[in-house]
Amino acid sequence: WCLRLLPVLLFFISFVTYYCSNGILQQKKWESLNFSISRRTQLFLKLEDFFWREHLSKLALPYGIKGSLLLLKVLAVTANYQVPANIELNDAPVRGYEEDVGNKTTMRFFYPESASYNPGLHNEPGTLMVLVPFKQQDLRWLKEILYNEKRQVRKGFWKPPPQIWLADVSKIRVLDPHFLHQTADRLLQIPLHPKSKQQPVHPTTGILAVFVALNYCDVVHIAGFGYPNSKSQRHPIHYYGYDTMKSMKNSYHDLNHEAEALKKLEDSGAILYLHPHL
């Protein structure tokens, strides 16, 4: 009977060896990315952290928004695929696009220029609206909205933000700028203080959402997010609307560089795409 069990034993040993070696290889790939992932960093700012308080901190935000329309992307899953959390970006619609981007929105990352006048149209009642503070004007805009103050912040936006915003105040959060800094510095490794003749490069909201997910999620699955070949200038950049890659030509985003970063994350096993992609 020992001889009969020998093939089973050998199969079990080879099976365990394969998965252990594969796990070790994936772990080495992940460590080679040299990220400082830590869940000790708070995800959202608290009221006492807001930048309109005087003398709170001398540390400036890592960069501001300049240039043309920010690439709107969605980190989503299909409607029949269940995950604990799902992040939508900016004013990307959900109603009517459920087959493409799912029907669940846990958080929606946005900034003033990308804010929808009525977020409830494409959000669920419990969706958190997470402001990404690219610049101090973004926080001042939010303060004027929340306290119903006179709208004085006009300059510093590449597009006029809504002056009336029908958002549930209890569902508003502000992303800790730590994640902006880490996305630029650690994930994309772009200079935060470029030389005088060097064009500044800013991460997109989409790559920021991926980095945040890596910090707080055990598993990160991606669908509806990615970058088409930059040579295809007529290729649409959204799953909705008519904007094409040509509109990103003069933007302050290096999409090729971000695509390479996503490829490294995929190869290391840090993220998993749920759809075929280039």
User: What does the DSSP 8-state code read for residue 250?
Assistant: T
Determine the average pLDDT of the residues in 186-196. Answer: 80
Within-domain flag for 196: yes
Per 3-state DSSP, the chain is made up of helix, strand and coil in percentages (nearest 5) of: 35, 10, 55
**Do residue 94 and residue 132 come from a single domain?**
yes
Query: Total structural domains in the chain?
Result: 2
**Do residue 159 and residue 191 come from a single domain?**
yes
- 235 in helix, strand or coil? coil
Q: What sign for the dihedral angle of Cα 222, 230, 181, 32? A: positive
Within-domain flag for 278: no
Whether the per-residue pLDDT at 118 is higher than 70: the answer is yes
Tens-digit pLDDT profile for residues 213-236: 888 887 888 866 777 665 667 777
**Do residue 122 and residue 14 come from a single domain?**
no
**Do residue 85 and residue 140 come from a single domain?**
yes
**Do residue 21 and residue 96 come from a single domain?**
no
Tens-digit pLDDT profile for residues 43-75: 776 655 554 444 433 433 333 322 222 222 222
List the domain range (segments joined by +) for residue 123. 40-273
Whether the per-residue pLDDT at 17 is higher than 50: the answer is yes
Within-domain flag for 94: yes
To the question of pTM greater than 0.85 for the whole model, the response is: no
Token pair of 197 as six digits: 């003749």
Q: What is the pLDDT of residue 64?
A: 30
pLDDT class of 22 with cuts at 50, 70, 90: low
Angle between helices 205-216 and 255-267 in degrees, nearest 10: 20
Tokens 């992940």 -> residue: 30
Within-domain flag for 170: yes
Within-domain flag for 16: yes
Amino acid in the structure at residue 117: Y
| CB-count exposure of residue 65 (10 Å: 0-12, 13-18, 19+) | buried
**Do residue 84 and residue 211 come from a single domain?**
yes
| CB-count exposure of residue 44 (10 Å: 0-12, 13-18, 19+) | middle
Within-domain flag for 212: yes
**Do residue 27 and residue 53 come from a single domain?**
no
**Do residue 246 and residue 155 come from a single domain?**
yes
Q: What is the pLDDT of residue 100?
A: 66
**Do residue 111 and residue 70 come from a single domain?**
yes
- Rounded to whole angstroms, the Cα distance separating 39 from 49 reads 19
**Do residue 8 and residue 146 come from a single domain?**
no
**Do residue 28 and residue 116 come from a single domain?**
no
Q: Which helix (H) or strand (E) holds 100?
A: helix 98-101
| CB-count exposure of residue 11 (10 Å: 0-12, 13-18, 19+) | exposed
Within-domain flag for 179: yes
When mean pLDDT is compared across 9-23, 226-240, 264-278, the lowest value belongs to 9-23
- Rounded to whole angstroms, the Cα distance separating 159 from 196 reads 25
**Do residue 102 and residue 79 come from a single domain?**
yes
Q: Which CATH number does the domain housing residue 87 bear?
A: 3.90.1480.20
